[in-house]
Structures are given as structure tokens and as C-alpha cells.
Structure 1
Amino acid sequence: MIVDSHCHLDFPDFDGERDEIIARAREAGVELMVTICTRVRKFDQIRAIAEQYDKVYCSVGTHPNNATEEKGIPASEILELTKHPKVVAIGEAGLDYFYDYAKPEDQQEGLRTHIAVARETGLPLVIHSRDADADMAAILEEEMGNGAFPAILHCFSSGLDLALKGVELGLYVSFSGILTFKRSEEIRDIARQLPLDRLLVETDAPYLAPQPRRGKRNEPAYTAMTAAVLAETCGLSYEAMARQTSENFFRLFKKVPRPAEFAGVI
């Protein structure tokens, strides 16, 4: 099986087609999906999708590009929403200095709030980091010193130093369709240098469709394409990489019920 650890099934790109999209995912061997929250104030939409589909789970949090818009949401409010049985992660939160949608100080404040919730709940923090490697590494190292928390660097497209710092601090690293792009040799080289037991795959759908679907709408079924390239990159069979990334998912996303074949993962 394959797990799409990060998609956005609530986005309007999928309106009217979710049944078919989830069916195609399962036909491709993608049996579990986590649909990721980008605005706490729109969490009800995320929750409704997770409740509708048996093998779809969700997160709760504020994307860094929305950090100014949702500035001041307390950790206690996010914490309360994590009590829902389908909420298995926090975020996505982080830093995005590529766009100018939110003030850096608001993004940093929001990131620290989400870290506090991840630390208290034990649910993994889904981290978005773009053009912010130094600040991200510094905040993660400082916050880990205040108490460990589980986390994942999602849709990894940063530099080797951040990847290695993340692994050193106990984080996982997830690769999206970017890994498959012809000009992404640097990202593939980073993937080769990371421990196999820290790797995950995702789509970030509807964005970043892998080759040969690049430029088209992405969807969870295409996680299998990224997993195939990651397997080749790391010198594994597709089956071995599918098993490895699924084991890693269940080790990190502890709230997701495990199929019998992964019952012994620790």
C-alpha cells in the first residue's frame, strides 16, 4: 500500500469529483490519505470530508501564508479541535518567505503556537518551509530544546542543511512530485542522503503533479508515481519503498489505525 500523507481534498479543484478521485487513488494502491488544513476557520470543511470517507484523515492548523489573517488563534482552540478522532496531525504551519502574504513575525508566532500543540498532543506537526531554511532550522532547534515534538518537513524542496538538521532533530521528510521533475536532481541527491526510515511521500494535490502529469491537476493516485521515482533514487524496488514509506507513516502518524500488516511497526 501507499499513503498520500499530504493532500488538499477540500480545495475547489476537486468539487463534484471526490468520490471518483478517492476511487482512483485506491485503484492505484493509495489506500490512505491525509487532507491538510490551511485555515483553522475553515476546519469544518476539512472535517466533513474526513468524516465522509473511511480512509481519509485530516489535520488542523493555519498555513503560513494565512498567518496574519488568522493571527492570534490560541493553542487551546487548536487543541480542542484535535480531539476529533479523524484529526491525526497539526498544521500545516511554518514559514514561507517566497510570497509576501503574511508578515514573517506572524508566521513565526503561528509556527511556535502549532509546535506547542504538537508537543502537548503528540500529533505530528506538518511543516511548510519555503525560502526560510535558516530561520526554520533555528526555530526547530530552539523549540526542540524546550521539549520534543513529532514533525515532518512536507513537500521538501529546501537545501541539504535543513534536511539533515531535521533528521538530526528527529523529523521526517516528505517528497512530492517535485522529486520527479527533470531539473530536480538536487532534491533527488538529498533524498539519497537521508535515512530510509525518515522518508514519506505525498502529492500536495491539487498542486505539483509528478512527471508525466506535470502541469495538470494533481490527485492522490499520483502518489504512486512519486514513490516509484523515490524507489529508483534510493536503489529500492517499488514494493520495498511502498512498504518503507507506509511503515514510516504509521510510526509518525500514531493516531491513524494501523492495518494488521503494520501492527508491529515501532
Structure 2
Amino acid sequence: MLIDSHCHLDFPELAADRAGVLARAKAAGIDGMVTISTRVKRFDEIKAIAEAHAEVWCSVGTHPHHADEELDIFTDDLVRLSAHPKCVAIGEAGLDYFYDNAPKEAQETGLRRHIAASRLTGLPLVIHSRSADVHMASVLSDEVGQGAFPFVLHCFTGGADLARKALELGGYISFSGIITFKNAEEIREVAKFVPADRYLVETDAPYLAPVPHRGGTNEPSYVAHTAAKVAEVRGISLEQLGTETTDNFFRLFSKAKA
């Protein structure tokens, strides 16, 4: 059993053949997935997908790329919307200093609002962090100091220092297809030391298709390739990885129903 803890079924690349995407995932042994919100103002579309499919859950949140577009979304809004039965997480929110599509101040404001919503609801915060390791570690340390909240660093691309800090603060690490890329040795090293009860696998579909599909459109069924590489790196069987990551998923995303 495998769970794709992060995909985007509303994005055009997957929406055009959503029935096929879901059928292929089922055939590949993927028993559930979370379709992740990137704009709160499109939450109706996200939740409708989750409502229509028993194996799909959703989140509510604003991607850092769009942080400045949704500064009128406050913590109370996130809390209210997250009460939907199929909504199992807050986010994705975070800091992306690689693309810098939104001002840094707006990204941090959004991130802290999402953290507050996670703390209030107990739902895990799905964190996007790219080229922002030092600032992300600082924000997480500061916020956990004000009160613990569950979180996962999704599609991990950071360094070992950020990973260790996140783990120290109680967070989880999620690995995507990037771990199969030739130049991802640093991420593979992180995958070796993350505790067995603190890691997940994901696709981030339609992006970042793993080898042997790199360069094409990613989809939830391909999480099997990511899982195989993580299992190889950790020196465990794919069956053991499936058990560990599924247990971890339902522990973190505790609102989801197995």
C-alpha cells in the first residue's frame, strides 16, 4: 500500500484525464492521495474532487507563489474552510526564494497565518520550501516556540541542516521524484537518516516526474518509482517502505480515513 501525500489533481495536465489518472493509480497499488490547494479562492474546485472520489483527500491553503494575491485570506478563513470532512491539511504554504514570484514579506505573512491555522485545528501544515533553508528554519523555530503544530516539508529539496531542524521540531520529511534524479545525492543522503516514523513519499504531480518518466507529465501512479528509490537508499524492502510511509501518513494526516 502506498499513499501519494501530495499531488495536484485540479491542474490542467491531470484534469484532462482525471478518470484515467485515478484508474492508473489504483492499478499501481496507490490506495490514496491528497490533492493539494495552491489558492484558497479555488478551494471549491479542490474539495469537489475530493468529494467525488473516496480515495482522494484535499487541503486548503495558498502557495507562496500566490501569497501576495491572497493577503485577504486570514487564519480564521483557513480554519473555517478546513472543517470540510475531506480536508485533511492546511497548505501548501511556505517560502520560495528560487522563483521569488511573490514578495518575501507576503510569503512569510502567509506562512505564519497558515501555521496559526494548523495550530488551531491540529491539521498538518504542508510546507513548500525552496532556496530558503535558513529563513525557513528560523520561522519554524520561532513558531514552534509559541506552540507546537504538525507539519511536513513536502518535496524536500533542502539541505541536511534544514532536515535535521525540522525533525528536531517534530516535523516530517516528504520525498518526491527528485530523489531519483542523478544530481540529487544530497537529498538521498537526507533520506538515509530520516527516522522510520517521520518520512513520506509523494509525486507533486503533474510536476517532477521520476526516472524513468522524467521530463513527462507526472501522475500519482508514479509515486511507486519514488518509493522504490527511497527504499533502495534506506536499504529496506518496498513492502516495508509501504507499511512505514502509510502508517506515517495516517498518523500525520490523522483526519484521513484509512
- Shorter chain as denominator, the TM-score bin is over 0.9
Partner residue, 1:243: 243
The runs of at least 4 aligned residues of structure 1 exceeding 3 Å deviation read none
SS in structure 2 of the partner of residue 99 of structure 1:
coil
For residues 35-184 of structure 1, the aligned pairs below 5 Å read 35-184=35-184
AA matched with 1:191: A
Structure 2: 5+ residue stretches without partners: none
Counterpart in the other structure of 1:224: 224
Q: CA deviation at 1:100?
A: 2.3
Q: Secondary structure at the match of 2:16?
A: coil
Give the TM-score taking structure 1 as reference length.
0.96
For 2:256 and 2:73, locate their aligned partners in 1 and report how far apart those are by CA, in whole Å. Answer: 26
Displacement after TM superposition at 1:105 (Å): 0.5
Secondary structure (helix, strand or coil) at the match of 2:215 reads coil
Aligned residue in 2 for 1:255: 255
Give RMSD over aligned pairs: 0.6
CA drift at 1:84: 0.5
Structure 2 Cα separation of the partners of residues 122 and 154 of structure 1? 18
Structure-1 separation of matches of 2:183 and 2:99: 22
Deviations 1:15-41 (A, max 9, x none): 331111101001111110000000000
Give per-residue Cα distances to partners, 1:71-120, cap 9 Å, x unaligned: 13111111110111000000000000011210000000000000000000
Query: Cα deviations across residues 130-167 of structure 1 (Å, max 9, x unaligned)?
Result: 00001100000000011000000000000100000000
Distance 2:194 2:173 in 1: 8
Matches of 1:76 and 1:190 in 2, distance apart? 35
Letter in 1 for 2:15: D
SS in 1 for 2:174: strand
Which consecutive unaligned segments of at least 5 residues does structure 1 have?
A: 259-266
Letter in 2 for 1:39: R
Q: Measure the CA separation in 2 of the matches of 1:108 and 1:204.
A: 22
1:170-195 Cα distance to aligned partner (Å, 9 max, x none):
00000000001111111101110111
What TM-score do you get using the length of structure 2 for normalisation? 0.99
How many residue pairs get aligned? The number is 258
Q: Which amino acid letter does the alignment assign opposite residue 25 of structure 1?
A: A
Deviations 1:23-73 (A, max 9, x none): 100111111000000000011110111111111000000000100111131
Alpha-carbon distance, 1:211 to partner:
0.4
